[in-house]
Amino acid sequence: MAGFLLWCILFVICWPLALLALVAYPFVWLLSLPFRIIGITLHGVFALLSAILLLPARLLRGPRAI
């Protein structure tokens, strides 16, 4: 909702720029999509490495008391 309100303000101030932003947004989203996929993949890899490295400590700690 905030993005829409900012776009409306931009439309009132400078409508050609607002229309250019409206047309360019899908292309920018498509260009950023591979970087998002790479980020999600790297996050998963680092989470897996963290789980593997911390596994011995979790096993030595024993069961948790409730």
Q: To the nearest whole percent, how much of the chain has pLDDT over 90?
A: 80
How does pLDDT run across 49-59, given as a tens digit for each residue? Answer: 999 999 988 88
DSSP letter string over 10-63? HHHH-HHHHHHHHHHHHHHHHHHHHHHHHHHHHHHHHHHHHHHHHHHHHHHH-P
Question: Is it the case that residue 66 has pLDDT exceeding 80?
Answer: no
Residue 62: band (very low, low, confident or very high) from pLDDT cuts 50, 70, 90: confident
Please give the Cα distance from 60 to 4 (Å, whole number): 52
Please give the Cα distance from 66 to 63 (Å, whole number): 9
44: left (phi over 0), alpha (psi -120 to 50) or beta: alpha
Can you give the pTM of this predicted structure? 0.60
Of residues 24 and 65, the one with the higher pLDDT is 24
